[in-house]
Chains A and B, each alone.
Chain A
Amino acid sequence: MENAPRAFRPRDRARHPVAWFPDYKTSVYRSPRLPLVSLSATRSELTAPLFGQDLIRATDNDLLVNGRVDGDPIGPRIILFGKVLDEDGRPVPNVLIELWQANAAGRYRHVNDTYLAPIDPNFWGVGRTLSEPDGSYRFRTIRPGPYPWRNRVNDWRPAHIHISLWGASLCQRLITQIYFEGDPLLPLCPIYNSIPDPAARERLVARLDMSESLPHDTLAWRFDIVLRGARQTYFENRREGA
C-alpha cells in the first residue's frame, strides 16, 4: 500500500495547449465551450491505479525486438531515455510510460491508418515501461518518419513519439508527444503550436545525446519528463492516521 500525496500545485494551464485551436480543425468541435469547474483534489483524484512490474515483460521497452517477425525494423536505430521528475526535481519512480509511434516511413500499425507509405512487418510501434527508483527510463526504437494528415491541404506532422504517463496520482495523468531537435516541420505544426508558450513547447523536444549513443550502433535522444509536484505540507511524511 502506498500513501497518496496530500495535495498538488495547481496545473498551470497557460503552459498547456489551448483546447480550441482553429488551425487544428478537429479541436474546434472537440473542445468544451464552458469553463472547467475547479476542484480541490479529493482522494478520488489524489490516488491512481498501482501499476506493478507484473505488467512489464522483458522486451516491452525494446521496439526493435517486440514486433519482430523475420528481421530488424527499417530505420535509424535510436535510444530514447531520460528521467521522470516532479516539479521539485525529485525522481518519480513507478510511472507507467506507454509509448506509440509511426514507423520510419511515417505509417502507423493501425487499422485506421491508410497513408500510402508501407507497413514495416517487423515493427509494431508500441512499448511500455515503469520508471526506475531513480526516475530513469529507457526505450530502444527506430526514429519515426513525418507524415501528412488531413487538416489544411498540405499539413505534415513532424517526427514524433506519443507517450502516456500514469504517476502516483490522477493529478499527474498526462499524454503528450516527444519531438526531435532541429525538425524543420516543428514551426509549421498546428498541434505543436497549440501550446501558446514557446518555452513550454520547447520542453517537448528531445535532444541528441552523444554520450549515451552507442558507437556503430544507435544514436541516443534525451527527454526528461516533468510531472506535477506535490505541495509541501508539514505532515508530508506522516502515515495516514498516524
Chain B
Amino acid sequence: MLREIPSQTAGPYVHIGLLPSVAGIPFEPERDWARMIRPGVRGERIRIEGVVFDGTGSPVKDAVLEIWQPDASGRFPGRDPGADPAFSGFGRVAADFGTGLFAFETVKPGRVPTAEGRLQAPHATLLIFARGINIHLHTRIYFEDEAAANAEDPVLALIEQACRRETLLARRELREGLPVYRFDVHIQGPNETVFFDV
C-alpha cells in the first residue's frame, strides 16, 4: 500500500498560488472566490466573517481560508442532483493584510444527513492555511440561531466539553439588512476553537 504524502506549511506566500491577485499577480484578475453566489440564488443570503487569532491573541493576517458547504436545501453543487446552479458551494479568501478580517458571501446552508441518516445542523466546513500551520486546520461553522438543530447535531455531540461547542457557533447580526455571521477562530487559548481530525 502507498501512503499519503505528508503536509507542509502553506507558508507566507500562499496567495501566489491560491489567490494570485492578493499577491499582486494578474494571473486571473476577474476571479472572486469570496463570492459563492450568483443572481437568483435560493435561500437566505448571508455573509460569514471573522478573524483567526494566534496564541498571543494577534490576528493571523497571512491566513488563507476555504469554505465548502451545501446549498440552502442541503445539496452539494456538482455532486448532488438538483443543487442550486446559482451557488458554488466553495469559497476561498485571504485574511486582510492589515486587520486579519476575512469574509465570504454565501447562503445559509441546508441540513445534510450523516451516513446513518441522522440530520446534521446547518454548517459549513472551514479549512485554514497559513505560515506556521504545518497541516491545515479543519473546523466547522455552525449558526447560533439554529439552537434546536444544534442540540441534536451528532458532530457537536462528539465534543465532550459542552463549553467547547460554543467555539463553533457563528454569532448573527443584521448589517444594513444583510445577516452577518461572525466566526472568530482561536488557534490557542482559553477559547481554543475545536479542530477536527477527519
Q: Which residues of A contact B (CB under 8 A)?
A: 1-2, 4, 6, 11-13, 15-19, 21, 24, 26-34, 36-45, 47-50, 66-67, 85-89, 98-102, 108-113, 124-126, 128, 162-164, 170-171, 173-177, 191-192, 194-195, 197, 200-201, 203-204, 225-229
Contacts and interface: CB of A to CB of B under 8 A. Distances in A.
Nearest to B123: A44
Interface string B1-43: 1111111111111111110100111010000000000000000
A118 to B, nearest CB: 16
A88 B131 CA distance: 31
B197 A200 contact: no
Contact of B6 (A42, A99, A195): A195
Contacts of B123: 44
Contacts of A21: 134
Contacts of B78: 1-2, 49-50
Nearest to A85: B2
A12 B135 CA distance: 12
A173 B7 CA distance: 10
A22 B53 CA distance: 19
A36 B196 contact: yes
A150 B20 CA distance: 23
A16 B138 CA distance: 15
A75 B125 CA distance: 40
A45 B125 contact: yes
A111 B115 CA distance: 45
Given A11-B4, A18-B134, A176-B6, A31 B188 contact: yes
Interface in B90-147: 90, 97, 112-115, 120, 123, 125, 127, 129-138, 140
Contacts of A16: 6-7, 134-135
5 contacts: A44-B120, A111-B97, A175-B9, A176-B7, A200-B6
Interface string B146-188: 0000000001001100001000000000000000000000011
Contacts, number: 254
A29 B131 CA distance: 11
A45 B192 CA distance: 22
Interface of B: 1-18, 20, 23-25, 27, 54-56, 60, 62, 68-70, 76-81, 88-90, 97, 112-115, 120, 123, 125, 127, 129-138, 140, 155, 158-159, 164, 187-188, 192-198
A109 B5 contact: no
Contacts of B113: 42-43
Residue among B62, B120, B132, B138 having the largest count of chain A Cβ atoms under 10 Å: B132
Contact of B79 (A2, A126, A203): A2
Given A1-B78, A26-B132, A44-B120, A191 B9 contact: yes
Contact of A26 (B131, B135, B194, B197): B131
A203 B187 contact: no
Nearest to B61: A112
B189 to A, nearest CB: 8
Given A170-B125, A197-B6, 20 more contacts: A2-B78, A4-B79, A13-B197, A17-B6, A17-B7, A17-B8, A24-B9, A30-B54, A32-B137, A34-B192, A42-B120, A44-B125, A49-B88, A67-B25, A87-B1, A88-B1, A110-B16, A124-B16, A126-B23, A227-B5
A87 B2 contact: yes
A19 B135 contact: yes
Given A170-B68, A227-B4, A1 B187 contact: no
A30 B17 contact: no
B195 A37 contact: yes
A19 B24 contact: no
A124 B69 CA distance: 32
A195 B5 CA distance: 11
